[in-house]
Structure 1
Amino acid sequence: MASRTPAPPATPSGQGIGPLLRAWRVERRVSQLELALRADSSARHISFIETGRSRPSEEMVLRLAEHLDVPMRERNALLLAAGYAPGFPETPLDDPGLTTLREGIERLIQGFEPYPALVVDALYTVVAANRGIAMLLEGLPEHLLTPPVNVVRVTLHPEGLAPRIRNLAEWRGHLLAQMRGQIALHRSAALRELYEEVAAYPVPDAPPGDGPRPVVPYIALPMRLEHDGHVLSFVSSISTFNTPMDVTVAELAIETLLPADPATVKYLHSLLA
């Protein structure tokens, strides 16, 4: 597993906690009164914090951040803005202290074979992948596969997987909507820059002779991907760590591609037997 690419701080520096807290509250569409009730405080106290007339305790900062569902990286930024030390470490993924975690993730995605599985960070940089993913990426140009590999860039680039995706318009729309949600959650300038890059990619024409989608009772939007003359169908599942206490761990996501039809199951087992 490679080292995680740290995301730059998403919260502007030099501001007190008031404007930052108000921005998160407005983003979450929560009134001062509602936030006060959730955090066992008063609307007057919330107003005083937002206007700079009151400095919240460290405990109050964390409580408000929790009730506003502020990501862990931005909770550290709120603590700094209030004059406190960051409350959550950010350990490099190749740190010896995370050896057990790295080994566990590797075993997890390898155990998922022959189905594709990978691990990405907050910027969609691939930090681990199994043989199923390697199989899907066969034949792509080297400039897309040179580390650090970005899964969104590889998927939507006109020289990447995009020409092979039979339902590209639907899948592209799904990925871009997912990224917009992440941008709203994390407010990351680097993530917004990545979004603007991939959203501007030209969309390849649909493969010639691509007929109607097979009538299959899909449980979710599938990605229909052509591989060596076969059309494979996958549905995506994303898992994160429960109650993380480290920024790096909090921003990791494990994505697995489940076969969406029996033909895909049979093909993958024959290919990676």
Structure 2
Amino acid sequence: MTTVAPDMRVGQLLRGWREQRRISQLELALRADSSARHISFIETGRSRPSEEMILRLAEHLDVPMRERNALLLAGGYAPQYTETALDDPAMGALREGIKALLEGYEPYPALVVDATYTVVAANRGIAMLMEGLPEHLITPPVNAVRITLHPEGLASRIRNLPQWRGHLLAQMERQIALVRSDALRELYDEVAAYPLAETGADGGHGTEHGEDEAEHAYFALPLRIEHDGRVLSFVSSISTFNTPMDVTVAELAIETLLPADPATVAYLQSLTP
């Protein structure tokens, strides 16, 4: 449930989001069809914004849906957006849709994570990559970033670990800059402190059956990961839901791993019954 400190006024919160986005009062006023004077009065508490104004400013400041509810509460209004648990009967159609999407992507790996990278659904392609990992990492709730960068997790199998680790940490840094999440910051501090796994961390210059990685013209940074004596290469794509009306849905992200070379395609398809 969204809560806000009783002494935290909506104007202070809006000013914090505006400063975080590095937008001037005048620029925000122009975007929201208001005036810099009115924005200033809202931020200093001299003017109480309407519910419509709070939502309009939040929209132009790209405030996450969860935090929009916090703004409304601080302004004395009821939350606008529901937060429904994913296992709620009302989410049945969403769950079935996600399941069909993940299964339809097989044999290629795909998963769905929430705002703190907790895995809420995954297909058999992901299960294949996780084979043989220790129980303490794969016992639910499973965290995708933790299982990827932990020295006992996939990190020991990733051939270009320094590059992939840098990509994941940079992605988390961008997310932390957009949202205010203590849980996400704690996760970042944890995984950033992990030592680089010795096995497989070849900086992206490993070979497979005498074939150098440079022979592949990758169109994006690949995840090069060992499985059953082979090196598989994937590029990652992340999708979110358009125009969500529920906090839970707004925070879901679907990550698909697209094979990055013909050898990976052939191997994964050979596993399909």
Partner of 1:84: 77
Change (3 A) 1:11 1:116: farther
Q: How far apart are residue 19 of structure 1 and its match?
A: 1.3
C-alpha distance in 2 between matches for 1:265 and 1:128 = 23
**In the alignment, residue 119 of structure 1 is paired with which amino acid?**
V
State the AA in 2 paired with 1:175: L
Shift of 1:58: 0.1
Is the contact made by 1:11 and 1:187 (CA closer than 8 Å) also made in structure 2? no
Deviation at 1:124, TM superposition (A): 0.3
RMSD: 1.5
2:226 counterpart residue number: 226
- What TM-score do the two structures reach when normalised by structure 2? 0.94
Q: Does 1:63 align with 2:59?
A: no
How many residues align? The count is 266
CA distance in 1: counterparts of 2:193 and 2:161, whole angstroms? 15
- What is the CA–CA distance in structure 2 between the aligned matches of 1:199 and 1:257, rounded to whole Å? 23
Structure 1: runs of 5 or more not aligned = 1-7
Contact 1:10 1:186 in 2 (8 A): no
Query: Counterparts of 1:19 and 1:65 in 2: how far apart (Å)?
Result: 13
The answer to whether the 8 Å contact 2:241/2:252 transfers is yes
From 35, 42, 65, the equivalent of 1:72 is: 65
Partner secondary structure for residue 243 of structure 1: coil
Deviations 1:210-242 (A, max 9, x none): 345332121211000011110000000000000
Query: Cα offset for 1:181?
Result: 1.0
Secondary structure in 1 matching 2:256: strand
The Cα of 1:41 is off from its aligned counterpart by 0.3
SS of structure 1 residue aligned to 2:56: helix
After TM superposition, give the deviation of residue 35 of structure 1 in Å. Answer: 0.3
The CA distance in 2 between the partners of 1:141 and 1:180, in whole Å, is 28
Residue aligned with 2:195, SS: coil
Alignment partner of 1:148: what SS? coil
Q: Which has the higher mean CA deviation after the structures are superposed, 200-209 or 83-92?
A: 200-209
One-letter amino acid of the structure 1 residue matched with residue 25 of structure 2: Q
Supply the distance in 1 between the matched residues of 2:84 and 2:219 (Cα, whole angstroms): 37
**What letter matches 1:71 in structure 2?**
P
Instruction: Identify if the C-alpha distance between structure 1 residues 12 and 237 changes in structure 2 by more than 3 Å, giving closer, same or farther.
Output: farther
Partner secondary structure for residue 8 of structure 2: coil
- Match for residue 210 of structure 1 among 193, 206, 223: 206
Determine if contact 1:10/1:188 at 8 Å carries over to the other structure: no
Report runs of 4+ in structure 1 exceeding 2 Å deviation.
8-14, 205-215
Deviates more, 1:14-23 or 1:138-147: 14-23
- Tell me the residue number matched to 1:136: 129
**Cα displacement string for residues 194-217 of structure 1 (whole angstroms, at most 9, x for unaligned residues):** 000000011112537934533212
Q: Distance in 1 between matches of 2:173 and 2:214?
A: 30
Matched, 1:180 2:176: no
Shift of 1:13: 5.7
Q: Compute the displacement of 1:43 (Å).
A: 0.1
- Within 1, Cα distance between the matches of 2:73 and 2:159? 47
Q: Percent identity, please.
A: 75
Shift of 1:18: 1.2
Alignment of structure 1 residues 35-184 onto 2, 5 Å: 35-184=28-177
Q: For 2:220 and 2:5, locate their aligned partners in 1 and report how far apart those are by CA, in whole Å.
A: 38
* Deviation for aligned residue 1:137: 0.2
Report the secondary structure of 1:103's partner residue: helix
> Which stretch shifts more, 17-26 or 256-265?
17-26
Please give the secondary structure, in 1, of the residue aligned with 2:54: helix
Aligned-pair distance for 1:182? 1.1
Residue type of the alignment partner of 1:244: P
8 A Cα contact 1:234 1:260, kept in partner: yes
The Cα shift of 1:10 comes to: 8.8
Instruction: Work out the CA distance in 2 between the residues paired with 1:197 and 1:154.
Output: 12
